[in-house]
Amino acid sequence: MKRQILVCASGVVVGAFLTAAWVSPPLQWPHESTIQAQTPRAISAKHDADLPLSASTPHFTPEELANIRVYEVANVSVVNITTSMAQYDHFFMLQTPGEGSGSGSVLDKEGHVLTNYHVVEGAEEIDVTLANDNNFAAELIGFDKETDIAVLKINAPTEQLYPINLGTSDGLRVGQRVYALGNPFGLDGTLTTGIISSLNRTPSENARRRSLKALIQTDAAMNPGNSGGPLLNTNAEVIGMNIAIATKTGQNAGVGFAIPANRIRRIVPELIKHGRIIRPDHGIVSLLPTKQGLKIAKVNPRGPADRAGLRGFRIVRQQKQHGPIVYQREFIDSDYADYILAVNGQSTRTPNEFLDVVEQFRPGDEIVITILRQGREKQVTLSLGSI
């Protein structure tokens, strides 16, 4: 059976004309016009910086001019991230240094940098190199494993920081032109272009990064080192953060994925404020998919589900006597457990569907869970905790 390997990647989208960036609190990304005014010309040697690009470079096509314009705006906001960590040779019992690299984007003038968590996971030292080649030590101030999003902090002079234009992932269409900007193989400021080839993709699901779903798929070339870089639209706005490529060889195969910008907008402020995502706690430890519904295998003692009266498997102890010998027998009674059918009227057939619905709420909210208990449906009100 052929294997599909997920490798780091990143993407950037480019466009013809620059529009004002979509900004939403509490993160205050500057408008694109502000970035453009602050942006040094990356190709100043090729044209008169005092003239419009189209007037000074008539040998470029309109499409090329759009690519160049977006690159000039976005490249100053994209950083190279290098990491160092200790690796162990278990055969020789030796510790050896290890290194990694990826990409990222400057979020604000305070020095916050957006990247993938897997780019910096396990790192003992993190260094960020800006587009002007100045290097700064970085601190990991917040991350979320499930969504593979991390925020770093560098102490760089504000005049060297050019915040990226964070757009929106609303209204994206298959066929829309996009651009990937990053540092594949350590080659700074590499721009590739393509189209959105699909939406709402889920390349893989696992317990560790359950939320890698509803991703943007693109054919823009991505390779190792691009992870954490921006995927841009033709307005030089970030519509996603590139996370992986699907390949059989470890190199680009024309299928890349990016985390939608709206998810980034929702998660990043919490990472900056709390260092983590505060998720609602339902108190159910294990769910088993069955034809009847999601069977509750275990609940946390005194947790929200337990307090609401939801039931998982129970251990039954019976005392037995065999002649003069008295002994105790234990067995698991799975018939005692409840089946979850729906949350607030929305059907949940898999554990991930259940979690997706629950995570639409906040700690302290009440949800109504429809269960099947010993052949009878009933509704249970559960007050969510926090984790």
Active site residues: 118, 148, 227
The answer to whether the beta carbons of residues 216 and 244 sit under 8 Å apart is no
State whether residue 27 is helix, strand or coil.
coil
- Residue 307: which H helix or E strand, with range? helix 304-307
Q: What are the DSSP E strand ranges found in 274-375?
A: 280-281, 284-289, 294-299, 314-322, 325-333, 339-343, 346-347, 366-373
The answer to whether the beta carbons of residues 296 and 311 sit under 8 Å apart is yes
Contacts of 355 (CB under 8 A, 6+ apart): 210
Q: Measured between alpha carbons, how far is 287 from 334 in angstroms, rounded to an integer?
A: 12
- Residue 135 class from Cβ within 10 Å (0-12 exposed, 13-18 middle, 19+ buried)? middle
Q: Cis ω on the peptide bond leading into residue 26 (within 30° of 0)?
A: yes
Torsion angle in degrees (nearest 10) through CA of 193, 189, 240, 354:
120
Q: Measured between alpha carbons, how far is 235 from 32 in angstroms, rounded to an integer?
A: 9
In sequence order, the β-bridge partners of residue 179 are: 193, 232
